[in-house]
Copies of this chain bind each other. A is one copy, B any other.
Amino acid sequence: MRLTHLADYAVVMMTAAARREPCARLSATDLSQDTGVPLPTAQKLMQRLAAHGLLVGHRGAGGGYALARPVGEITLADIVEAVEGPFAMTVCSEGRTDCALDAHCRVKPHMGIVGDKVRGALGAVSLQELAQ
């Protein structure tokens, strides 16, 4: 029950962005230098965060990314979900039924509820709190 390195990096980068001016243009290079995250990795992460609507990208010279929403409306759950995928405690919660235990499993109906609880715990932490 721990975050992947990519999700950890994403949280660090988003908090670094939250400390800047709102709507400021942030390039992947800028955040890479601020946080220490390797540049190619930072690029890949910002792509995913933009694809999930947490950042908006502006291309071309002078472009970069900007927070899509106010810092109070972006939660830890949003960031983790953008990088790691949906909060499913088990693979069978995602619709996949290729589980060898599926026939005898009596726990499956409860796992969706558990996932929601975990998501609620992370959803209660906003970027504003993380940035102090």
Contacts and interface: CB of A to CB of B under 8 A. Distances in A.
Interface stretch (A20-28, A48-56, A57-65, A102-110): A102-110
Interface string A55-99: 000000000000000000000100011001001111100000000
Given A34-B104, A106-B15, A1 B80 contact: yes
B90 A36 contact: no
Interface string A4-41: 00011101100110000000000000000011110000
Interface of A: 1-3, 7-9, 11-12, 15-16, 34-37, 76, 80-81, 84, 87-91, 100-101, 103-107, 110, 114, 117-118, 120-122, 124-125, 129-132
Contacts of A107: 11-12, 15, 130
A83 to B, nearest CB: 10
A117 B117 CA distance: 10
A49 to B, nearest CB: 16
B36 A1 contact: no
Given A117-B124, A121-B121, A104 B35 contact: yes
A18 to B, nearest CB: 10
Contacts of A16: 106
A106 to B, nearest CB: 7
